[in-house]
Structure 1
Amino acid sequence: MSASRRMPDVLEARLLATVSRLAGPIRGAGVVLISLFGAFSLNSPLGWTLFALVAVSTVADFRLPRVALPVAFLRVVVLSVLLGADADQWVLTVLTTTLITWQWQWPLKVTVPATAALLAVQVVTTGPGVLVRAVLESVLARLAYELLRRSSRRVDLLRERAAEQRRAAAVALDQGRREREYLALLHDTAAATFLMAAHGGDPVAVAAQARRDLVVLAERGHGQGTVDLGAALAAVARDSSVHVRVEAEVVPVPAGVALAFVRAVRELLTNVERHAGTTGAELTVGRGAMVVVRDDGRGFEPADVPGHRRGLRGSVVDRLEAAGGTAVIESAEGRGTTVWLRWPADD
């Protein structure tokens, strides 16, 4: 998802960003409070000077995250070198606070070498006694951070699955509603027409009613269901005043697509009647929704058709393209006209 972040990253990214943003202020506030108690315990000019230095240095923790790590490193080094064993709890607590908050703010490739360097300084200045506590608390801080990260990732994954289930349920509910509406529409249209035919209705009236049913099913049914394109176009050919030789296979297509073909073929046969100078045409409906309308009339030059005449362009080409198909018109003076209609366009 996702501007296209996938949903499982959302909570994790926000949570980690919040932890990283708060790590510096927590470290700054912590070392100031620790240093205040340390200065009170020493109650010496050196102690209060170091407290003032620590307080000033925390500006980086609160306001300058890019330099907060080296500033924190130098702060611990200064306290270790100047205080040494005289204030080991002050130094040790600032050290562990620094190492813990580092784990929340920077990746391992940064914190591991920085921690190792800081511990090396501590061993040199105050002895190896700090190692166990400092290493243990650093490791526990990193583990807590990773646990929080995995937990947030797990929550995001569960949210994603729940959202997918809700979407699937909504789609299924909507599809079921549409199917029920379409079945009711079929009952009101096609079923009534079949009943008319079964009781010996007039063939012309039955054909006209069937064409009206097709229009209703396509326009009100939003293209749901399928229609035999061959049968639909054969009905159009029978209703035309032009004598049409039909070769049609059974080609199921969506009702909306069938309606586009019906209207396009009706327009083509009307053009044959009005302009071709012939009384005959051929209609072929083949697999892959390939329809060919051909006449042997006088023909025309497609390039010479004025732009304001939109018959073939609007009623045939544009209509097929709107349904996702293509229409190709081939004609020449004295050679008749052939039109290929196909759906889908990339088939």
Structure 2
Amino acid sequence: MRDVLLEARLLATVSRLAGPVRGVGVVLISLFGAFSLHSPLGWSLFAVVALSAIADFRLPRVALPVAFLRVVVLSLLLGTDAGQWVPTVLTTTLITWQWQWPPKVTVPATAALLAVQVVTTGPGVLVRAVLESVLARVAYELLRRSSRRVDVLRERAAEQNRAAAVALDRSRREREYLALLHDTAAATFLMAVHGGDPRVVAAQARRDLVVLAERGHAQGTADLGAALTAVARDSALDVRVEAGVVPVPAGVALAFVRAARELLTNVERHAGTASARLTVERAGSGAVVVISDDGRGFAPGEVPGHRRGVRGSVVGRMEAVGGTAAVESEPGGGTTARLEWPADG
């Protein structure tokens, strides 16, 4: 559903203001006209105009016939003796009509009013009235087309923004899926290639299928402490766990689970140690997970750019849910990974 169009808002505003503009205009014109006549008739007609202007402000449904009768009364009673009073009220009326009603209403009303003018005061004002009415209608149409053009440009920009957002989300999901494949299928294939126990490979493959089936279905809230305790229990390492109850959105918990699984797998494969530590704590309304080991460590700056393990499966995954991940290590000094998710992430 598109936002309210600029064209509709602008034309509604012009239509709403046309009546008050006409009312103020004819009252001021009539005030000067009454001063110029300086007669009881002039002031009486000014009073009539002032009263009729109420319709321009308050009664838009009857404003057109009231404005028509107002010009007719002034024309009949003043004739050619009013100077510019009647012609100016006439042109003000015709101009504001073009802003308030469609041509199917204003064209016959304008023709009828001009016919009355020709009969009562002669054709002298005819050219001026027609020209100003046409110019008012042209200006109105140009305004409408310009605002419509702006609406088209805004809609195109909105479509481009929506397309960019969809593309960004698709790219994020693709990166997530590649990271997930690295954590699951790729690791299982590598285990099989290096002659892993067929039963272990089969069990790992079944777990991979479950994880892959979970993708895209993370909703609700999960206890991060319980989830990561289960991850530690399934690990081949001896993992000492300190975890309390830390509720987080299920999608965030899934990101933590996958990142923690990748980190523990890296410890198993590369750290040269059989144990690790895992802590899960609250951080305000968010969560902090720390995984550490006393293994051989490594130099993070020397990790090749094509290796996705930590960068894609841990850092990228946490950033995708609004969190952060930092890994500190040095050769011979063990490794510590800190995963954080703020509640407003």
For residues 19 and 196 of structure 1, the distance between their equivalents in structure 2, rounded to whole angstroms, comes to 74
Partner of 2:95: 100
SS of residue paired to 2:62: helix
TM-score by length of 1: 0.61
Aligned length: 218
Partner of 2:34: 39
Partner of 1:188: 183
From 190, 199, 203, give the equivalent of 1:208. Answer: 203
Give the counterpart letter for 1:41 in structure 2.
S
Give the counterpart letter for 1:210 in structure 2.
A
CA offset at residue 208 of structure 1? 1.5
Confirm whether residue 73 of structure 1 aligns to residue 42 of structure 2: no
For residues 105 and 13 of structure 2, the distance between their equivalents in structure 1, rounded to whole angstroms, comes to 19
The equivalences for 1:23-38 within 5 A come to: 23-38=18-33
Conserved 8 A contact 1:38-1:90? yes
From 15, 18, 22, give the equivalent of 2:17. Answer: 22
For residues 83 and 116 of structure 2, the distance between their equivalents in structure 1, rounded to whole angstroms, comes to 14
From 30, 49, 53, give the equivalent of 2:44. Answer: 49
Partner of 1:130: 125
The equivalences for 1:1-347 within 5 A come to: 1=1, 6-7=2-3, 10-220=5-215, 222=217
Conserved 8 A contact 1:92-1:130? yes
Partner of 2:275: none
Give the counterpart letter for 2:78 in structure 1.
L
CA offset at residue 177 of structure 1? 1.4
TM-score by length of 2: 0.62
Give the counterpart letter for 2:41 in structure 1.
L
For residues 77 and 130 of structure 2, the distance between their equivalents in structure 1, rounded to whole angstroms, comes to 23
Partner of 1:271: none
For residues 20 and 124 of structure 1, the distance between their equivalents in structure 2, rounded to whole angstroms, comes to 31
Partner of 2:227: none
Deviations along 1:142-199, whole A, 9 cap, x unmatched? 0011111111111111111111111111111121112112101111110110011112
Conserved 8 A contact 1:35-1:54? yes
CA offset at residue 203 of structure 1? 2.3
CA offset at residue 221 of structure 1? 5.1
